[in-house]
Structure 1
Amino acid sequence: MEFKEFTAKNIDDAITEACEELMVTSDRLEYEVVSSGSAGFLGINAKPAVIKARIKEEKPVEVEAPKAESTDSKQFSKKDDSKKKNTNADSDNKPEAEDKKTSSIDGDDLVKKANDFLKDVFEAMKMEVVVNAKFNSQDNILDVELSGAEMGVLIGKRGQTLDSLQYLISLVVNKESSDYIHVKVDTENYRERRKATLENLAKNISYKVRKTRQSVALEPMNPYERRIIHSALQNDRYVTTHSEGDEPFRRVVVTLKK
């Protein structure tokens, strides 16, 4: 499958756009970052992020038939038993070395950058917020969990404030990083609660479309939320989904299958 180009406000949204159009989960997506984009100054001269993506090609697993061991090979194995032991000892050490090379990114430095940035933001907002940031070196994901007394303010309408914070933190930690760091910001399990709400909405809309036999256009959503709707109705026997419009007014349309 050929690579297709996807453009969005940031890398995460571009990846979500690709997953949405190709109808795959992110673990089955192969992509290359063409441009990380830039936020500009107060939105002026902002440049979008661009990626090239395609569905990963699954390689068939080759199974070799067991080979009969000849007498010569048995004698050879006895003679070189000590060599094999050394080789095995070396191979036992290899995974450990490879594990150490899983990521060359300084997780502690990333966490410090995120914490320092958020400290300044919350001081300017005069809010007391507890920040718990952790870096997953295996997946290159920085998870930021926020807690406090005024989390409704940080979530904002349909999570827009939380998304904005996530985008700004992504700019901060990726500014001098050679590898792209995914950033996830959450509070009070909002992401999971919002996902459950959208999945329930998708089922209700599906029932409405089947009953009225008329298409329904949902409210504008960000790429992540649109993807939840698409995934929830992907295997629906009666309806299909597609997206229409341009950002930030792009929305999901649910239609009856022919």
Structure 2
Amino acid sequence: MKRVEATGKSVEEAVRKSLVTLGASEDRVKVTVLEQPSKGLFGLIGAKEARVQVELLPDGVDHAVAFLQEVTDAMHSTVEIERDDGADEVLISLSGANLGMLIGRRGQTLDALQYLTNIVANRHSDRHLRIVLDAEQFRKRRRETLEALSDRMALRAAKTRKDIVLEPMSASERKIIHAKLQGHPQVRTYSQGDEPNRCVVIAIK
């Protein structure tokens, strides 16, 4: 856990300095007063500043990272875990060798692990957290593949004047297709079927 020590003319001032250093709010830390301030003789001789130790408490994402570390350790995988806090979501990226088992077929294992990671994070958080889990930039590469597929299938539908039904996809992947073809001049998209066999239809306008 991250902790810092700071001094100040008062305990409050020392704590404020620590919060700035940690980049945290007071409700996210544990404060230990190591030394109370004293004015000394005549307010000059032997005067001492307050000294505090401020420890950053783990948040939901910290618990999520610890959970992922336990999972990868159990799989005997050497994985580096990086965290990137955004405004609306937290991206946790995994990197290392032989991550195919963590990704699974079309990212199904990665999606399942992301679901569990979100459960762990929100169980230890007082606010809702949205965590996106990625491994070796799989999600970026998958997005690019799906967007290219969208363009090809939209072109085929426009040429043949026939609707095209894509293979079943997860909700997040269907969203990529819908977003890519939104506003297309010749086709529209909608989803049909029940999970886990729900799929995107590219239809002629």
**TM-score, with normalisation over the residues of structure 2?**
0.69
Change (3 A) 1:192 1:107: farther
CA distance in 2, matches of 1:107, 1:192: 32
Could you tell me which residue of structure 1 aligns to residue 11 of structure 2? none
Could you tell me which residue of structure 1 aligns to residue 179 of structure 2? 231
Quote the offset at 1:112 in angstroms.
2.7
CA distance in 2, matches of 1:148, 1:110: 24
Quote the offset at 1:192 in angstroms.
1.3
Contact 2:163–2:202, Cα closer than 8 Å, also in 1: yes
From 193, 204, 207, the equivalent of 2:141 is 193
1:100-156 deviation per Cα after TM superposition (whole angstroms, max 9, x unaligned): 77x9798843343122211221122121111112434x43x2221101111222211
1:60-88 deviation per Cα after TM superposition (whole angstroms, max 9, x unaligned): xxxxxxxxxxxxxxxxxxxxxxxxxxxxx
Number of residue pairs aligned between Structure 1 and Structure 2: 157
From 183, 197, 200, the equivalent of 1:252 is 200
CA distance in 2, matches of 1:192, 1:107: 32
CA distance in 2, matches of 1:251, 1:149: 32
CA distance in 1, matches of 2:82, 2:115: 17
What is the CA RMSD across the aligned residues, in angstroms? 2.5
Change (3 A) 1:107 1:242: farther
Contact 1:243–1:252, Cα closer than 8 Å, also in 2: yes
- The amino acid of 2:158's aligned partner reads R
- The amino acid of 2:81's aligned partner reads V
- The amino acid of 2:100's aligned partner reads G
Structure 2 gap segments, 5+ residues each: 1-22, 30-55
From 156, 166, 169, the equivalent of 1:208 is 156
- The amino acid of 2:161's aligned partner reads R
Matched, 1:172 2:140: no
Structure 1 gap segments, 5+ residues each: 1-98
Contact 2:81–2:94, Cα closer than 8 Å, also in 1: yes
> Identity of paired residues, percent?
42
Matched, 1:151 2:99: yes
Change (3 A) 1:221 1:107: farther
Matched, 1:121 2:77: no
Structure whose CA Rg is larger: 2
CA distance in 2, matches of 1:193, 1:251: 20
- The amino acid of 1:149's aligned partner reads A
Could you tell me which residue of structure 1 aligns to residue 131 of structure 2? 183
Quote the offset at 1:182 in angstroms.
0.4
Matched, 1:109 2:59: yes
CA distance in 2, matches of 1:112, 1:180: 14
Contact 2:150–2:177, Cα closer than 8 Å, also in 1: yes
Change (3 A) 1:162 1:217: same
Change (3 A) 1:167 1:130: same
- The amino acid of 2:64's aligned partner reads A
Contact 2:79–2:94, Cα closer than 8 Å, also in 1: yes
CA distance in 1, matches of 2:68, 2:174: 28
CA distance in 1, matches of 2:163, 2:178: 15
Could you tell me which residue of structure 1 aligns to residue 16 of structure 2? none
Quote the offset at 1:166 in angstroms.
0.8
CA distance in 1, matches of 2:158, 2:118: 41
More strand by share: 2
